[in-house]
């Protein structure tokens, strides 16, 4: 950071920044000392860090920090001159001091004096401990590392000093990025203008040719011959002057356009690169965390980190701190065995956790692998059954990848005991939430007794993406290129039909085919050619081929968030501006695939053929059944389906609330006593939400008390029935009254 960059910082502000840097240097150096004998250069680096901290403390006149840093500096000097030998308990006490320095660096200037006053005794005590260590005196044994709870995982914002850093307010950075994006768009408009000028030049040239032909065909039979007319010379002069000026203007604007394009692209790339940070900026907190957890659990662990220089958008990097921290804590606590257990299993006493970051297929990838006990899939199945999340029969036919998804449910834990580190059921749901927030994916791979791997994949940046522009229903949409599996064009006679569902065979698999226009709500149109353009998209579970009007092109686009007032837009994540200045919506592929899957299961889509517009599909009314009893859910489902209704189910009130918000239903039937949200609360939420309040809601409960019926009516329920109504037609009659017959 140059001197000019520092003029807006106070001396205290500069000291806090320096404390952040020196704390990281001390932390990394001390962890290195634990793994290998210390070289003189390493020890001198540690001493310099303490000395620099002491010098800064003198400038801001903080005597307590001066004495603390001086005592630490004396310790390293004593190690260098050989008067003392570093012991493991020494490192523990020194790391406690490093934590104090970190806390200093995270303190606001206005709170600094109060912080120092409140921690003066701690600094004094540590200074005394370091003085005793320097004198070779015995101090208390290994210090128990502080355990950070699952609810309060924080981010270390320090930097490694590899590059000079200027702190910029987030609002200013966003504004700068927006301006760079506007510059990028305006250059594209200039280029469009350039193309228009070239076109005009072409037209003028054609006009000149027509005038020439007219002159050649002119005969002397008129009052004035062409060549002798004064206006002929004037016309020729205007034509030549216009041609020369147009040529020069076209050349100048072309040159300007190229310069602007180069400048704008460089500017935008530089601004975007300001938000790209090395993975190491986050990963540097992991060695200390793993070391402290292992010490508390009595485990021996080697942490290997690779790909530290791999770049990632700062916004994504900061969001990854909580998920990655939890995955590492799980690996230390759940995954790796104790030294005795490992030796008994024929493994080295020291367990290994590997964190690897790399770019692949245009995405940022992270793998976290431990060589521990692995995940017992059968035990996981039993836990799922015990928690009544699924039946044993359902789980037996479920792929392992879907079984692992239960690990990411809120409140799910396989631990019977709660420790300081884990067991509360907090964490993996946070991991999934954060990964989905950054448009990423997570997969689990394991082998019992050998290893567990979590594989995370996400975009490198949320600011700019490569996108495929496709036309659907006469409108253009952008699909992130990283979410497209394949582009294909196939003859219509390759479209096959099974049970009214269309598909085609590709690389040994049957892939369902649907009309993108119909999914997005555009009118169906018959195919005009004997070929269909297909866009293959997928999520973790399903893959479909979308029939689109045409592929337009692929280009890099600047991602712009939608106005919050719009709320959730169907299958759309953001917007952008194309080269020609026209707006475009960016498709949320995961939402799109889920929507298609619901349509396919409910049989609400047309078949794709040349007569696609000749008939309309049969529309069946859809009902959501919510009950925590699988028996009751299935009974209600069977009754309703036997009368022609489409039925979806939810296992509790919260699950039902999420379903109502994210799908369309003609009616909701709910129980009262359910976990996470009872039926009364659910009805109140539905009736209190503008776009949902007109959905008929029926309560079906074993409760037959008058006060329960009154409370149901007050909540807004349209009908209240007891579950004894299953034995006659009472429930179906009530459904008929509320929404009519199943088919329209």
Render pLDDT for 516-570 as a digit per residue (tens, 0 to 9).
888 888 876 667 678 889 999 988 678 899 999 888 888 888 787 777 777 778 8
The number of beta carbons lying within 10 Å of the beta carbon of residue 407 is 21
DSSP codes of every residue in 220-235:
TTSSS-TTT-HHHHHH
Are residues 293 and 259 both part of a single domain? no
The reply to whether 613 falls in a domain is no
pLDDT on residue 188: 67
Range in 179-183, 321-325, 462-466, 653-657 with the lowest mean pLDDT: 179-183
Question: Are 645 and 622 a contacting pair, CB within 8 Å?
Answer: yes
For residue 670, what is the enclosing H or E element?
strand 667-670
Q: Are residues 643 and 498 in the same domain?
A: no
CATH of the domain at 716: 3.40.50.2300
End-to-end CA distance of the chain: 70
Model pLDDT, residue 304: 93
pLDDT at 151: 41
Same domain, 267 and 304: no
* C-alpha dihedral sign at 305, 308, 313, 318: positive
How confident is the model over 407-444, as pLDDT tens digits? Answer: 887 767 766 554 544 544 445 777 887 887 777 888 89
Does a structural domain hold residue 223?
A: no
pLDDT category of residue 72 using cuts at 50, 70 and 90: confident
pLDDT at 721 over 80: yes
Q: Give me the pLDDT at residue 351, please.
A: 94
Residue 222 lies in a domain: no
Whole-angstrom Cα distance, residue 582 to residue 189?
10
Q: Which of 459, 484, 509 is the last residue of a domain?
A: 459
Residues 692 and 723 reside in one and the same domain: yes
Same domain membership, residue 313 and residue 442: yes
Least confident of 173-177, 479-483, 516-520, 612-616: 612-616
Which tokens go with 395?
């789980």
Same domain, 295 and 437: yes
Q: Which comes out higher in pLDDT, residue 680 or 424?
A: 680
Give domain status of residue 531, yes or no: yes
Give the per-residue pLDDT at 225: 52
Does residue 611 lie within any of the structural domains? no
Number of domains in the chain: 5
Q: Assign residue 504 the CATH number of its domain.
A: 2.40.50.180
Q: Are strands 451-459 and 441-447 parallel, antiparallel or unpaired?
A: antiparallel
Same domain, 580 and 627: no
In this structure, are 443 and 509 located in the same domain?
A: no
Would 426 be classed as within a structural domain?
yes
197/294 Cα distance (integer angstroms): 69
User: How large is the average pLDDT for residues 123-142?
Assistant: 79
- 652-666 per-position pLDDT tens digit: 888 889 889 888 899
Task: State yes or no: pLDDT of 260 exceeds 70.
Answer: yes
For residues 610 and 492, the answer to whether their CB atoms sit within 8 Å is yes
Rounded CA-CA distance 279/317 in Å is: 7
In this structure, the number of other CB atoms found within 10 A of the CB of residue 11 comes to 12
Pair 638, 726: CB distance under 8 Å: no
Is the whole model's pTM more than 0.85, yes or no? no
In this predicted structure, the answer to whether residue 342 has a pLDDT above a threshold of 90 is yes
pLDDT for residue 223: 46
Same domain as 34, residue 100: yes
Interval 367-376: pLDDT, tens: 999 999 999 8
At 190-201, the pLDDT tens digits run: 766 667 677 777
pLDDT given at position 305: 93
Answer positive or negative: Cα dihedral of 479, 481, 484, 486. Answer: positive
Tell me the C-alpha distance between 451 and 453, whole Å. 7
Q: Which of 403, 424, 459 is the last residue of a domain?
A: 459
Residue 635 lies in a domain: yes
Strands 667-670, 697-701: pairing is parallel
Q: Is residue 317 very low, low, confident or very high in pLDDT (cuts 50, 70, 90)? A: confident
**pLDDT at residue 716 is higher than 80:** yes
In this predicted structure, which of 487-491, 513-517, 739-743 has the lowest mean pLDDT? Answer: 739-743
Q: Indicate if 583 and 639 belong to the same structural domain.
A: no
Neighbours of 328 (CB within 10 A): 23
- Does residue 682 contact residue 717 with C-beta atoms inside 8 Å? no
Report the distance separating Cα 618 and Cα 605, nearest Å.
9
Average of per-residue pLDDT across 711-725: 84
> Distance between CA atoms of 574 and 525, rounded to whole angstroms?
27
Better pLDDT: 285 or 418: 285
Q: What is the CATH number of the domain that holds 94?
A: 1.20.120.160
* Owning domain of residue 509: 464-602
Does one domain contain both 446 and 520? Answer: no
Is the residue at 32 inside a domain? yes
Q: Compute φ and ψ for 322, nearest 5 degrees.
A: -65, -50
> Are residue 688 and residue 589 in the same domain, yes or no?
no
Give the domain-ending residue among 440, 459, 478: 459
């Amino acid at each position: 950071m140059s001197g000019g960059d520092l003029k807006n910082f106070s001396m205290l502000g500069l000291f806090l920044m320096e404390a952040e840097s020196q704390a990281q240097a001390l932390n990394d150096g001390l962890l290195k000392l634990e793994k290998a004998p210390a070289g003189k250069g390493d020890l001198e680096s540690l001493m310099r860090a303490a000395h620099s901290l002491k010098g800064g403390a003198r400038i801001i006149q903080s005597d307590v920090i001066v004495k603390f840093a001086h005592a630490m500096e004396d310790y390293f000097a004593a190690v260098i001159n050989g008067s003392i030998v570093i012991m493991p308990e020494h490192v523990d006490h020194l790391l406690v001091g490093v934590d104090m320095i970190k806390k200093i660096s995270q303190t606001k200037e206005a709170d600094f004096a109060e912080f120092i006053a409140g921690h003066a005794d701690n600094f004094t005590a540590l200074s005394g401990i370091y003085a005793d260590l320097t004198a070779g005196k015995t101090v208390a044994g290994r210090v128990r590392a502080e355990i950070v709870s699952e609810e309060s995982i924080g981010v270390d914002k320090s930097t490694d000093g590899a590059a000079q850093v200027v702190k910029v307010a987030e609002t200013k950075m966003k504004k700068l990025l927006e301006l760079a994006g506007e510059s990028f768009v305006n250059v594209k408009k200039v280029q469009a203008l350039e193309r228009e000028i070239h076109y005009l030049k072409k037209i003028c040239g054609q006009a000149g040719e027509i005038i020439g032909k007219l002159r050649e065909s002119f005969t002397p039979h008129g009052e004035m011959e062409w060549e002798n007319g004064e206006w002929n010379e004037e016309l020729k002069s205007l034509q030549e002057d216009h041609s020369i000026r147009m040529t020069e203007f076209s050349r100048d604007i072309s040159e300007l356009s190229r310069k602007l394009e180069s400048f704008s692209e460089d500017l935008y790339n530089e601004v975007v690169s300001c938000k790209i940070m090395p993975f190491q900026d986050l990963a540097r907190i992991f060695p200390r965390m793993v070391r402290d957890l292992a010490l508390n659990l009595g485990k021996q662990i080697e942490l290997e980190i690779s790909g530290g220089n791999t770049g990632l958008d700062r916004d994504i990097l900061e969001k990854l701190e909580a998920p990655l921290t939890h995955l590492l804590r799980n690996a230390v606590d759940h995954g790796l065995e104790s030294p005795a257990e490992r030796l008994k299993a024929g493994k080295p006493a020291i367990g290994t956790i590997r964190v690897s970051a790399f770019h692949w297929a245009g995405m940022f990838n992270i793998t976290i692998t431990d060589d521990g006990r692995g995940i017992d899939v059968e035990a996981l199945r039993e836990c799922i059954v015990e928690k009544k999340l699924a039946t044993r029969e359902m789980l037996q036919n479920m792929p392992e990848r879907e079984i692992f998804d239960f690990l990411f449910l809120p409140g799910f834990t396989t631990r019977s005991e709660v420790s300081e580190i884990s067991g509360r059921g907090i964490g993996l749901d946070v991991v999934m939430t954060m990964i989905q927030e950054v448009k990423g994916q997570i997969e689990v791979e394991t082998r019992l007794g050998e290893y567990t791997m979590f594989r995370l994949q996400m975009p490198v940046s949320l600011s700019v993406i490569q996108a495929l522009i496709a036309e659907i229903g006469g409108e253009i949409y952008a699909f992130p290129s990283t979410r497209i599996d394949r582009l294909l064009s196939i003859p219509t006679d390759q479209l096959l039909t099974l049970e009214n569902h269309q598909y085609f065979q590709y690389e040994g698999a049957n892939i369902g085919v649907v009309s993108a226009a119909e999914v997005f709500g555009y009118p169906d149109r018959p195919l005009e050619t004997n070929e269909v353009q297909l866009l293959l998209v997928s999520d973790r579970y399903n893959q479909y081929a979308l029939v689109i009007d045409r592929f337009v092109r692929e280009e890099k686009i600047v991602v712009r968030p939608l106005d919050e007032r719009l709320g959730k837009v169907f299958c759309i994540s953001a917007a952008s501006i194309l080269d020609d200045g026209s707006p475009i919506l960016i498709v949320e592929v995961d939402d799109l695939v889920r929507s298609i899957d619901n349509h396919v299961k409910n049989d609400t889509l047309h078949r794709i053929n040349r007569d696609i517009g000749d008939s309309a599909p049969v529309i069946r009314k859809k009902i959501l059944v919510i009950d925590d009893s699988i028996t009751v859910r299935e009974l209600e489902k069977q009754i309703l389906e036997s009368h022609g209704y489409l039925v979806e189910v939810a296992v509790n009130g919260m699950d039902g609330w999420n379903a109502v918000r994210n799908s369309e239903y003609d009616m909701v039937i709910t129980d009262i006593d359910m976990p996470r949200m009872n039926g009364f609360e659910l009805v109140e939420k539905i009736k209190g939400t503008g776009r949902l309040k007109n959905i008929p809601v029926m309560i079906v409960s074993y409760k037959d008390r008058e006060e329960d019926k009154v409370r149901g009516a007050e909540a807004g329920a349209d009908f209240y029935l007891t579950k004894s109504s299953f034995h006659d037609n009472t429930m179906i009659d009530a459904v008929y009254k509320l929404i009519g017959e199943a088919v329209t």
